[in-house]
């Protein structure tokens, strides 16, 4: 097993970890997306935003778990939108350990760290010309 194989495996595993984080976030906060199906809507805009965030999370999970580079595109929409519009954390249960007055700052910080990690991971994939096995098949 060469260094390139190890690098390939690490990048693929990191992408899968991101996919699991997004899927866990979607499952944990699924009740936040029920505004899509609610009959007591204030307007159509919250439904459209919730639908876009949900779809981007599903697409990001699918793409990242399969190891595709295009999975980062919906991820880069999902993380800021989930933070701004819903105030949910990508890393589950960690913000609940923090007192409520600092929880929003903790969510913003954690989601920013995950976003920076995703950017770093994509740059690493592009820099080393790592083509994951699932893209070739």
Residue 135 is assigned to a structural domain of this protein: no
| Within-domain flag for 16 | yes
> What is the pLDDT tens value at each position of the chain, 137 positions in all?
565 666 777 888 899 999 999 999 999 988 887 767 766 666 666 778 888 999 999 999 999 999 888 999 999 999 999 999 999 999 988 888 888 899 999 999 999 999 999 999 998 888 765 454 444 44
Expressed as residue numbers, the domain containing 74 is: 3-130
Q: In terms of DSSP H, where are the helices of 66-96?
A: 72-81
37 is a domain residue: yes
CB-CB contact of 30 with 92 (8 Å)? no
Report the pLDDT value the prediction gives residue 96, as an integer from 0 to 100.
Answer: 82
Whether 12 maps to a domain, the answer reads yes
| Residue 53 placed within a domain | yes
CA distance 131 to 109: 31
pLDDT of residue 2: 60
DSSP string, 15-50: HHHHHHHHHHHHHHTGGGGGGGS-SS-S-HHHHHHH
Tell me, yes or no, whether 137 lies in a domain: no
The confidence score (pLDDT) of residue 42 equals: 63
pLDDT recorded at residue 6: 66
Q: How many domains does the chain have?
A: 1
Query: Is 54 a member of any domain?
Result: yes
């Amino acid at each position: 097993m060469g260094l390139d194989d190890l690098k390939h495996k690490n990048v693929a595993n990191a992408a899968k970890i991101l996919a699991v984080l997004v899927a866990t976030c979607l499952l944990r906060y699924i009740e936040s997306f029920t505004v899509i199906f609610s009959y007591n809507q204030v307007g159509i805009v919250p439904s459209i935003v919730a639908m876009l965030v949900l779809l981007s999370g599903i697409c990001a999970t699918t793409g990242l778990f399969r190891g595709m580079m295009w999975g980062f595109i919906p991820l880069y929409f999902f993380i800021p939108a989930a933070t701004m519009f819903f105030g949910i954390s990508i890393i589950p249960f960690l913000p609940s350990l923090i007192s409520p007055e600092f929880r929003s700052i903790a969510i913003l910080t954690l989601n920013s760290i995950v976003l920076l990690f995703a950017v770093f991971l994509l740059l690493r994939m592009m820099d080393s010309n790592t083509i994951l096995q699932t893209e070739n098949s």
